[in-house]
Each structure stands twice: as C-alpha cells, then as structure tokens.
Amino acid sequence: MKALLLTEAMNVEVTDVSKPTPTSGEILIKVAASALNHRELWIQKGLYPGITVPCILGADGAGTVVEIGHNVDQSWNNKEVIIYPGYYWGTNEDAPTRQFRVLGMPDPGTMAEYISVPVNNLVEKPNYLSWAEAAALPVASLTAWRGLKRHGRIQKDDKVLITGIGGGVAQAGLSLALALGAKVYVTSSSSDKIAFAQSIGAIDGVNYKNKDWHNQLKEVSGGIDIVLDSSPSPDLDNYFQFMNYGGRIVTYGSTGSPKTTINISKFFLRHLQFIGTAMGSPSEFKALLIFMKEHAIKPIVHSEYTLDEGRKAFNSLRSGNQIGKIVINHIK
C-alpha cells in the first residue's frame, strides 16, 4: 500500500509498504482522509522524544472498516469511523499513563491507505461531517475540548482568550467555546486571521506583535477568565494585565518559547492556575463527538492535498499561513 513515510534521513516520502493485517481485537480501516498536526513537524526535526524511524506519520484519520480481526463484533463491518489517536491512556481521567502514546510514531500512523487499530480506538463518524472534516477533528478538537472543559472549567459567559487563532486547536477552541456560551477573544499576528475569527463569533482580537497587546486585551475584554494558550509568553507577568482573579491559563504548546518566568507572589495572591494539557481520554473523545453533533460543529479545513502531494502539505503547515486544518484526501 501507499504511505507517507518519515525515512531514516528524516525526509517525508511517499513509499510502498506492506498492508497491515488486523490481529485479535483489531480492525482494518481503509483511510479516507488524514490530517496534519505540528507534532509531525517536530518529529521530522528530531525534536520529539523517542524518535523511531522509518515510520508512517499521522495521528488524525477517518475511514471505512474493511476487515475485522478475531474477537471483534461483526457489526463494525463497513462502518464509517473516526480514529481515537492514542494508545494506553488508562483509567485515570486526570492524566494518562506513562505508556500513553500518539499514533504516527513509533506506531504506524494514519497517512497511509490502510491502518489497523484496536476496536476500542474507533468511534462512528457522524453523517453530517465530510471525510476531510472528520479527519481534521481528533487531535485538535480533543485537545481544545479537554483544555476548556476539564482544565478551564468553562461556564456560560466566561471570557476566554484563544491565542494563535490560525491553528487547528485554536480554531476548534473557538467553535467549542462559542457553543458553550463563552465570550471569546483571540490573538494573532495576522489581521486577516483576527477578522476571520470575528466573522464566526469572536468578540475582538489583538495583534500579539504589538508591545502593549496585554493592555489592549484588557481594554477590549475587561478581563479574561480562561486562556487556551498555544504559546505562553516568555514573561507570564504580562498576563497579569488582563487575567481575572481565579483565572486559568491552559497551555498545550510551546511554539513561541520553551521557557517562561512569572512573579510567584502575584500568581498565588490572584489565585491563578497555570495548567498543562495534551489531547484527552477516550471517554472525552466520545463526549466531544456527541457535543459537536448536537451543535453541528464542523472543523475548519484550510486546504486538502492527495497522498502524493504529502510534502506540499507539510510545507503548507510549515508556512504558518493556514486558518484551520490541512488535510490529506486519500480518495482523490
């Protein structure tokens, strides 16, 4: 079968590999679409722990069941499904086990014509989603959902700041927060991305390249309760300008700076919380899909490529110009 492979030379190449066979408890999926995350870029740069190459990349994917292994209910046959993108979360909803890992390195990922996964990793695809939208959903939407619901404890009328609004998690967070009744503000270095966010429901936005963006945000929002943060500032003291007492800063990335500093006295006297998060549990994934279906929420797809155009897809993500998710369409 055809797959998008990260080679030992750390190049992304379309290669023929062996088609997997489902073992006991597994199901073979003919992948209809997969989607990119920044995780794939970090892996290619060698900046992700436990690099194992060659490997088939991709954590996000959706497709049709074409073969069933032993000890699997036959009713799954021919169903359209979305793949939960991780293994070994465990039973603790607060945090995964140390064995938890994401599809697409070291395990074979979704950027291939077929993938075999445990039946417990599958959720039926809602009919209202296209293949591209379904594939764009797992990692980004689940990360945003857990960040807002479990860690942010979001409530109706909360004021939520979503940073870096062009990204997949940020766009998912915007849609979810609006559906949960929050008042959403955004940041970006692009006025077009801020304008787009406002066109779909954000109240206002500021350019984080401006030195006084923290004060600008305080002025337009009156104060923020929750931050869904892809790139915390190197100096979190700046956040004191706009954070309400008891606020939660939930971070899922470090694209701007791997380190940050903070005035501890101001931090605890204002009862602030700084919380790290990544993806979410299988039960949260199911709850997310139910909520999205109830509110007819669709992930935003920026662009689509074929498997043969995989390197172009990676370059598009690397450029940082996207709004939403970059998808690989396996049917074209």
CA angle 141, 160, 232 (to 5 degrees): 80
Per-residue confidence band for 47, with pLDDT thresholds at 50, 70 and 90: confident
Shared-domain flag, residues 234 and 306? no
pLDDT value at residue 222: 98
Q: What is the pLDDT of residues 117-161, one digit of tens each?
A: 999 999 999 999 999 999 999 999 999 999 999 999 999 999 999
Residue 175 lies in a domain: yes
Shared-domain flag, residues 128 and 197? no
Q: What is the pLDDT of residues 243-283, one digit of tens each?
A: 999 999 999 987 767 788 888 999 999 999 999 999 999 99
**Which one has a higher pLDDT value, 50 or 249?**
249
Q: What is the pLDDT of residues 187-238, one digit of tens each?
A: 999 999 999 999 999 999 999 999 999 999 999 999 999 999 998 888 889 9
Span 33-37, average pLDDT: 98
Residue 282 lies in a domain: no
Parallel, antiparallel or unpaired: strands 86-87 and 101-102: antiparallel
Buried b / exposed e over 25-64, threshold 16 CB at 10 Å, is: ebbbbebbbbbbbbbbbebbeeeeeebebbbbbbbbbbbb
How many C-beta atoms surround the C-beta of residue 18 within 10 A?
A: 8
Residue 286 lies in a domain: no
Shared-domain flag, residues 119 and 149? no
Shared-domain flag, residues 194 and 121? no
pLDDT value at residue 31: 98
Give the position of tokens 């279906």.
Answer: 293
pLDDT value at residue 49: 83
How far apart CA 263 and CA 282 sit, in angstroms, is 36
Span 44-61, average pLDDT: 92
Three-state secondary structure along 153-178? CCCCCCEEEECCCCCHHHHHHHHHHH
Which residues are within 8 A (CB) of 123 and not within 5 positions of it... i.e. 6 or more apart? Answer: 81, 82, 84, 285, 286, 289
pLDDT value at residue 150: 98
Distances (CA, A) of 100 to 173, 275, 315: 23, 19, 29
CB 13 within 8 A of CB 108: no
Shared-domain flag, residues 222 and 261? yes
Residue 287 lies in a domain: no
Shared-domain flag, residues 213 and 248? yes
Q: What is the pLDDT of residues 288-313, one digit of tens each?
A: 999 999 999 999 999 999 999 999 99
Residue 285 lies in a domain: no
Residue 289 lies in a domain: no
Shared-domain flag, residues 179 and 270? yes
Shared-domain flag, residues 70 and 128? yes
Return the percentage of the chain with pLDDT > 70, whole number.
100
- Read off the CATH number of the domain in which 160 is found: 3.40.50.720
Q: How far is it between the farthest Cα atoms of the chain?
A: 61
CA angle 102, 106, 111 (to 5 degrees): 70
- Read off the CATH number of the domain in which 114 is found: 3.90.180.10
Nearest to 31 by CA among 102, 134, 143: 134
**DSSP result, 265-315:** HHHHHTT-EEEE--S--HHHHHHHHHHHHHTT--PPEEEEEEGGGHHHHHH
Return the percentage of the chain with pLDDT > 90, whole number.
92
Mean confidence (pLDDT) of the chain: 95
Q: At what angle do helices 282-294 and 168-179 cross, to 10 degrees?
A: 60
Shared-domain flag, residues 160 and 235? yes
Residues paired with 31 in a beta bridge: 63
Residues paired with 187 in a beta bridge: 206
pLDDT above 90 for 22: yes
Distances (CA, A) of 300 to 144, 197, 262, 283: 14, 11, 34, 23
pLDDT value at residue 251: 96
How far apart CA 228 and CA 231 sit, in angstroms, is 9
pLDDT value at residue 253: 87
Shared-domain flag, residues 40 and 25? yes
Number of domains in the chain: 2
Shared-domain flag, residues 132 and 253? no
pLDDT value at residue 202: 98
Residue 293 lies in a domain: no
Per-residue confidence band for 324, with pLDDT thresholds at 50, 70 and 90: very high
CB 273 within 8 A of CB 247: yes
Shared-domain flag, residues 309 and 254? no
**Residue 233 belongs to domain spanning:** 141-276
Distances (CA, A) of 229 to 10, 64, 201, 255, 288: 29, 34, 19, 10, 20
pLDDT value at residue 23: 97
